[in-house]
Amino acid sequence: MVAPALAVRAGLRALLGEESDVDVLGESAWLGELDELPGELDVLVLVDGGLTGVGSAREELESLLESAAQPAVLLLTAESPAPARLLAGLDTRVWGVLPLDSTAEELHAALLALHNGLLVGPPELVEALFTPRLQDGELMREAALEALTERELQVLQLLAQGLANKQIALALGISEHTVKFHVSGIYAKLGAASRTEAVRLGVRQGLIIL
């Protein structure tokens, strides 16, 4: 596993250690610290904070994957989908994306799915990663208009009002965990890297009522 925070690595190690069919072969704070991956590695678990940048991270990942027997890659990410985009088209057997606050059961299920050759991730984020993008990094206007669901439009409207995830969850009667999924979907579909950019793009495309 690769995660910059010692507490995160310890937490993941404890969660994974509870499963009899999962072995942690090693850990690191940064991709750049790894010279090669264990040949018997089945799934490489990454936390997006351990990626020094999308460009350099892709090069580091590609270099590591060349030295291993094509392990799957599981990315645990916070709200921004930007790190997840480097997985699409990566020369790896299969990959997955999960929120950083996923439960032990979700994490274990994801590892089993990846082991069996399945893509893993929230449908709205995985779908958005495969949506054609313009060269400047923004989704085509038509694609964005079609991609945002009614719930995502509601969340985007509340983002424009400056509400935090917890406040949005209360306003819509959903969990904060679900709000994070919707925010990630909005970022991916609009091609945004932050709340401010998502709101700006939403206003430009007429998705937000001011």
Q: CATH code at 141? A: 1.10.10.10
- Distance (Å) of CA 128 to CA 105, 140, 169: 25, 12, 23
Mean pLDDT of 170-183: 90
Q: Band of the pLDDT at 144, cuts 50, 70, 90?
A: very low
Residues of the chain above pLDDT 90, percent: 8
Q: Are residues 74 and 163 in the same domain?
A: no
Structural domain that includes position 55: 6-121
Q: Are residues 117 and 135 in the same domain?
A: no
- Distance (Å) of CA 99 to CA 41, 59, 64, 67, 68: 22, 23, 24, 28, 26
* pTM across the whole model: 0.55
The 10 Å CB-count burial string (b at 16+, else e) for 125-147 is bbebbeeeeeeeebbeeebbeeb
Stretch among 25-34, 41-50, 138-147, 200-209 having the lowest mean pLDDT: 138-147
pLDDT in tens, 198-208: 888 888 877 88
Is it the case that residue 132 has pLDDT exceeding 50?
A: no
Asked whether residue 143 is domain-assigned, the answer is yes
What residues pair up with 96 in beta bridges, in sequence order? 74, 120
Asked whether residue 210 is domain-assigned, the answer is no
- Distance (Å) of CA 58 to CA 25, 105, 194: 22, 29, 21
Structural domain tally of the chain?
A: 2
Mean pLDDT of 11-35: 76
Q: Are residues 148 and 52 in the same domain?
A: no
Q: Are residues 139 and 115 in the same domain?
A: no
Structural domain ending residue among the three candidates 94, 121, 148? 121
Structural domain ending residue among the three candidates 92, 121, 150? 121
pLDDT in tens, 35-75: 667 667 778 888 875 554 444 556 667 666 765 567 788 88
Q: Identify the residue with better confidence: 15 or 159.
A: 159
pLDDT value at position 173? 93
Contact of 72 with 115, CB cutoff 8 Å: yes
Structural domain ending residue among the three candidates 121, 140, 168? 121
Q: Are residues 18 and 100 in the same domain?
A: yes
CATH number, residue 29: 3.40.50.2300
Mean pLDDT of 178-201: 85
Which two tokens mark 196?
């401010």
DSSP 89: T
Q: Are residues 24 and 61 in the same domain?
A: yes
The 10 Å CB-count burial string (b at 16+, else e) for 8-41 is bbeebeebbeeeeebeeeebebebbebeebeeeb
Q: What is the largest CA-CA distance in the chain?
A: 55
Q: Are residues 166 and 107 in the same domain?
A: no
Asked whether residue 209 is domain-assigned, the answer is no
pLDDT in tens, 68-105: 567 788 888 765 555 566 665 566 667 788 887 788 88
Asked whether residue 31 is domain-assigned, the answer is yes
